[in-house]
Amino acid sequence: MNHSIPQLILNMGKQAKAAALKLAVCSTGDKNDALNAMAEAIKSQTERILSANAMDMAQAEKDGLSAAMLDRLRLDKKRVASMAKGVDDVATLPDPVGEIIREWTRPNGLHLQKIRVPLGVIGIIYESRPNVTADSACLCVKAGNACILRGGSEAFHTNTAIAAAMNDAAKTAGLPNHIIQLVPTTDRATVRELARLDKYLSCIIPRGGEGLIRAVVENSTVPVIKHYQGICHVYVDETADFDMAERIIINAKCQRPGVCNAMETLLIHKKIAGRFLPLAARSLLEHKVELRMEEDGLRILAKTDLQKKYASQIRPATEEDWSLEYLDLILSIRIVDSIDQAIEHINAYGSSHSDCIVTGNRQAARRFHAEVDSATVYHNASTRFTDGAEFGMGAEIGISTDRLHARGPMALEELTTYKYLIHGAGQIRE
């Protein structure tokens, strides 16, 4: 490396900004052709990508990474093919750029158009999964943005091979150079420099754990779109259909417990707790879920055979439990006096991500929808649907827990901004 790190990042920023200005006016057809070429390049360079990955894997094994980490890092032919297919799929999505969001004419004859345009340059800072390189880059390009990727050190060789294949293919297909740049070192100082690059970066999207996100936010003068944890709730109201409630609870907790839209806390209306809690608990316990609850809940279960049968899976809950994202087969359960208390609990302890009411009462559903202050509020459906693909947005780059700009699943539209085009005939301001 000849450059100092600040100089390196500054140069990357300049190159990205110049590329972004050109990419912003490329046609949808040109972008799609380039995306197909990028997918093709990933496929045709499978061997090269896999040998880069083998280097990363060898080092990771030497470094004693956990089995889960190794699995996240590992690529094979099938995974590379699926990565390429993801890029091809993005080519088929509608292009958000150029949409006329609104247009109107003022009394003085000025005609205004609010149109959708790319954000500009997006920084993506992420951890070990190398598929983030391809996923993020193709979404950025489709929405007309240049990107600067800063991946984790474990996946460095793999990321370099993927990013180079994609950028070269895009350039050969006629898009400007430097639309996809991977930071060529994983020195920690690069994160800090990116976070101060407000002259060139429109925003940073960190993709990783809370520690990573906090580290970026702490020093950033660039706006950061944050994807914090999901402390998601299901509230079973007094008029809930028990079968439906049980189905939703099992799905929200057990289908994939390690993700942000999985349920962490179950709230049950006290009027039905005596009947519904044993029913739900049995099913959850059979699904190997550990249950944590207060005295009232424990008392209800004590009257059943569950307490004995699943003693090791039933524990008292503490105040702390209401704020925990277990990401595991653990569930806290609270019995509430009313829908008011349920809403209050969710707004106090939740993370404004995804929360659900199961109820047969439309009025209760309306209140829950209006008063729960979360990005995604469900009536009678699993919280697991909070996802770009499930929402019909095509791919997603993440699920924002921010309120500004993008909230909930972020896809192509959320990677754009707007500008005003004003058409006059010589108007001046009085």
How many Å apart are CA 167 and CA 152, to the nearest integer? 19
Closest approach of Cβ 39 to its own copies, in Å?
A: 26
Instruction: Give the CA count within 13 Å in the CB-facing half-sphere of 2.
Output: 1
Residues facing residue 314 across a β-bridge: 291
How many Å apart are CA 369 and CA 166, to the nearest integer? 43
Looking at the Cβ atoms of 172 and 221, the one nearer to its own copies is: 221
Part in contact with its own copies (CB under 8 A); list of ranges 50-58, 167-175, 288-296, 362-370: 362-370
Question: Environment class of residue 4 by beta-carbon count within 10 Å: exposed (0-12), middle (13-18) or buried (19+)?
Answer: exposed
Question: Environment class of residue 222 by beta-carbon count within 10 Å: exposed (0-12), middle (13-18) or buried (19+)?
Answer: buried
Interface with its own copies: number of residues (CB under 8 A): 65
How many Å apart are CA 196 and CA 204, to the nearest integer? 10
Torsion of CA 397, 403, 405, 410, to 10 degrees: 20
CB 351 within 8 A of CB 230: yes
Q: Binding to its own copies by residue 248, rule CB under 8 A? A: yes
Looking at the Cβ atoms of 64 and 392, the one nearer to its own copies is: 392
Looking at the Cβ atoms of 80 and 139, the one nearer to its own copies is: 139
Residues facing residue 206 across a β-bridge: 125
Site for its own copies in 18-57 (CB under 8 A): 21, 24-25
Looking at the Cβ atoms of 44 and 418, the one nearer to its own copies is: 418
Question: Which residues neighbour 28 within 8 Å (Cβ) at sequence distance 6 or greater?
Answer: 95, 97, 98
Q: Which of 384, 396, 398, 412 binds its own copies (CB under 8 A)?
A: 384
Looking at the Cβ atoms of 162 and 346, the one nearer to its own copies is: 346
Site for its own copies in 212-241 (CB under 8 A): 217-218, 221, 223-225, 241
Site for its own copies in 70-109 (CB under 8 A): 104, 106
Its sign, for the CA torsion 143, 185, 212, 129, is: positive
Q: Which of 51, 381, 395, 412 binds its own copies (CB under 8 A)?
A: 381
Q: Binding to its own copies by residue 110, rule CB under 8 A? A: yes
Taking alpha carbons only, the member of 294, 295, 293 closest to residue 313 is 293
Looking at the Cβ atoms of 104 and 312, the one nearer to its own copies is: 104
Closest approach of Cβ 279 to its own copies, in Å?
A: 16
Looking at the Cβ atoms of 126 and 378, the one nearer to its own copies is: 378
Site for its own copies in 135-194 (CB under 8 A): none
In this structure, what token pair is assigned to residue 227? 């994807």
Its sign, for the CA torsion 135, 136, 142, 147, is: negative
Q: Binding to its own copies by residue 379, rule CB under 8 A? A: yes
Q: What does the per-residue mask of binding to its own copies show for 291-330, with x meaning CB under 8 A?
A: ----------------------------------------
How many Å apart are CA 248 and CA 266, to the nearest integer? 11
Q: Binding to its own copies by residue 374, rule CB under 8 A? A: yes
Closest approach of Cβ 99 to its own copies, in Å?
A: 12
Part in contact with its own copies (CB under 8 A); list of ranges 27-35, 39-47, 126-134, 419-427: 419-427
How many Å apart are CA 305 and CA 309, to the nearest integer? 6
Give the interface with its own copies as residue ranges (CB under 8 A). 21, 24-25, 104, 106, 110, 112, 119-120, 198, 202-203, 217-218, 221, 223-225, 241, 244, 247-248, 250-252, 255, 347, 365, 369-371, 373-382, 384-385, 390-392, 402-405, 407-408, 417-429
